A and B are shown apart, each in its own frame.
Chain A
Amino acid sequence: MSTKVLAFINFKGGVGKTACAVNIAATLAKLHEKKVLVVDLDPQSNSSLWLMRPDQWREHVAKGRRSTFEIFDDAIQGKERFNFAESVVKGVVTWTGFVEVPQLHLLPASVELLKVEDRIHELRAPTVYRILERALKDHLGAYDYVFFDCPPNLYSTTKNAIFLSDSCIVPYIPDYLSLSGFQVLAEYIAELRGKYTDSAGDRRHPNVGGVIVSHYRQTGNVFRLAINELEIMLAELRTHGILETNVSLLQPFIRHCVRVAESTSEHLPVVLYAPGCIGAQDYSDLTQNFLTHFHHKR
């Protein structure tokens, strides 16, 4: 099985990293029969809480066990407690109590991840990037897709995800604040590309593989202008070699949809919770084009 490993990153918060990772993953599993693993690396544990009920999540990751925190804690403390099979959550539990979408797996996060950054500097530099790789490399081959839902920063956990990924997906809100951050992010990833290639031979070439626009509204021309600015910036960054030529602005743009927000309270991806809403339709089309972009280039 050829696994595609992708990191959903942006150091700006609230741009839709979790929503994209969770809903694209669920759509791939439910409607395209793909086996997908979502790895939650954010101490806020939002993708975990989107796909698990709070009581189920609290019990599963009690004291940071059976979570991505344990991976980093093991590395810091020199222990080997993390057990992938025990940690991974298979499928989504609906309100009937039965599991749906068994092809969708989640490696949940716990709030203890907050402590990781304080202690991770105790490890030597090349080791720091490879913690996730060491813990997960034997398991990734079982999946068609592995998504890392990264925290809104570019610290060690995010670097680990970038190191292990084939590409980065950048969720983006069409406004100037996102635009200004995007170039910094693209340059940072390009810089890491050089660093990682040095330390790991030429095995990984992290790059920006695609940009997803969320929170889109069609009223007026505010968002059209903002998208135009983003497209022009992408072209400029490609011209200067900061982005690769195949970087694409994935379509359609995800429109603001209250049902998507509501689906978080139901702990279900929107494709299960409200398949008829515009949010589910946008994610459905986006996932289709995502597949075309990453696997079946036209």
Chain B
Amino acid sequence: MNYQELASKLLHTAERVQKHAHKLEGDTINKSAVRLAADVDRFEEILSGFLASRKSGELFLETLLRSPAAKKYVTLELLRKALRETCSKRLKSEELGGAKREFIEAVHASERAEPAVKYLKHAFAEAAYVPPAGKDKAALQHEFLQLGRLSDEDYATTIAKRTFGELRRLAGTNGIRFTDKTTKPHLIKSIRRYARRLAANLPT
């Protein structure tokens, strides 16, 4: 059911009650009518509260502040900056939950829901963005593949020219884990193993 369907249902019932009101009587229907009226009163109260405190922009702002991105990226500092830049106000809360509530109330009072939504969306997009790896990584990956295609002899000759630092960079970029204790011969062996595997797995 959606709220459009609920509205149609209520209208349908209201019309029938109105049409037959003069002949409705008896304990069963009276009791049911009293229960329905109480439920409608309760629903009206909730509906009024909902509509009074939320415009569509604020509703979406609340959704954003409950979103997975908010759980990951919203900090006190971000809310402070957002409130300062969108509403020119200072955030007083020192705890995140309270700060979120204060933020929504301040935005509501200043009627600045749209810029606040825009600010948060932009902040989330910036936080999630992963910049492209760059030419350096591509060159090291290409080199790794070429090393895998060399014979054992050529590999030994080529790799001997590399410094330990270069080898660590090559290994790190190509997904090979090592620690500070990893020795140069061990790293050479690891690079050989995985570079060969790569060359064999990739069609020429």
Residues of A within 8 A of B (CB): 30-33, 90-91, 97-99, 102, 176, 179-180, 183, 220-221, 224-229, 231-233, 235-236, 251-252, 271, 275-277, 280-281, 283-285, 288-289, 291-292, 298
Q: In the complex where A179-B201, A229-B202 touch, is A99 in contact with B194 (Cβ < 8 A)?
A: no
Q: Is the CB of B2 within 8 A of A289?
A: no
Q: A228-B144, A229-B201, A281-B69 are in contact. List 20 more A-B contacts (CB 8 A).
A: A30-B67, A31-B63, A31-B67, A31-B69, A99-B2, A179-B201, A179-B202, A180-B201, A183-B203, A221-B175, A224-B175, A225-B176, A228-B174, A232-B141, A271-B67, A271-B68, A275-B67, A284-B67, A288-B69, A289-B129
- A275–B71 Cα gap in the complex (Å)? 8
Q: Which residues of A contact B142 (CB under 8 A)?
A: 232, 235
| Contact present for B194 and A275 (CB under 8 Å) | no
List the B residue with the shortest CB-CB distance to A274: B68
* Chain B window 160-204, contacts with chain A (Cβ cutoff 8 Å), 1 for yes, 0 for no: 000000000000001111000000000000000010001001110
- Taken together as a complex, chains A and B put the C-alpha atoms of A292 and B60 apart, in Å, by 21
Enumerate chain B interface residues (CB-CB to A < 8 A).
1-3, 60, 63-64, 66-69, 71-72, 121, 124-125, 128-130, 133, 138, 141-142, 144-145, 174-177, 194, 198, 201-203
Contacts of B133 in A (CB 8 A): 231
Compute how far the CA of A228 lies from the CA of B121 in the bound complex, rounded to whole angstroms: 31
In the complex with contacts A235-B142, A285-B69, A289-B130, A99-B1 CB distance below 8 A: yes
Q: How many A-B residue pairs have CB under 8 A?
A: 95
**How far, in angstroms, from A227 to B198 measured CA to CA in the complex?**
11
Q: List chain A residues, Cβ under 8 A from B176.
A: 221, 225
**Residues of the B chain whose Cβ atoms lie less than 8 Å from the Cβ of A291:** 125
| Contact residues of B: prevailing secondary structure | helix
Question: Residue A251 contacts which of B67, B69, B130 (CB distance < 8 angstroms)?
Answer: B130
**B138 surroundings in chain A (CB, below 8 A):** 235
Chain B residues within an 8 Å CB radius of A91? 2
Pair B2/A275 contact, Cβ less than 8 Å: no
B202 x A285 contact (CB < 8 A): no
Known: A98-B2, A288-B125. A275 touches B66 (CB 8 A): yes
- The residues of A that contact B69 with a CB separation of less than 8 Å are 31, 281, 284-285, 288
Partner of A224, one of B67, B68, B72, B177: B177
- Chain A residues lying within 8 Å of B198, measured Cβ to Cβ, are 228-229, 232
A179 neighbours in B (Cβ, 8 Å): 201-202
Cα distance, A151 to B128, chains bound together (Å): 30
Given known A-B contacts A99-B1, A176-B201, A221 and B177 have beta carbons under 8 A apart: yes
Task: Determine the chain B residues whose CB is within 8 A of the CB of A289 once the complex forms.
Answer: 128-130
**What residues of B have a CB within 8 angstroms of the CB of A221 in the complex?**
175-177
CA distance A91 to B71 in the complex (A): 24
Q: Are B68 and A288 in touch, CB under 8 angstroms?
A: no
A284 contacts which chain B residues (CB < 8 A)? 67-69, 72, 124, 128
Q: Which residues of B contact A227 (CB under 8 A)?
A: 175
The distance in angstroms between the C-alpha atoms of A233 and B124, with both chains bound, is 31
Closest to A90 in B: B2
* Residues of chain A contacted by B2 (CB below 8 angstroms): 90-91, 98-99, 102
Question: Is the pair B130, A283 in contact by a Cβ cutoff of 8 Å?
Answer: no
Contacts of B72 in A (CB 8 A): 281, 284-285
**Interchain CA distance A30-B64 in the complex, whole Å:** 9
Listed by A's residue number, 26 A-B pairs whose Cβ atoms lie within 8 Å are A31-B63, A98-B2, A98-B3, A99-B1, A179-B202, A180-B201, A221-B177, A228-B198, A229-B201, A231-B133, A231-B141, A232-B202, A251-B130, A275-B67, A275-B68, A275-B71, A276-B71, A277-B68, A283-B68, A284-B67, A284-B69, A288-B69, A288-B128, A291-B125, A292-B125, A292-B129
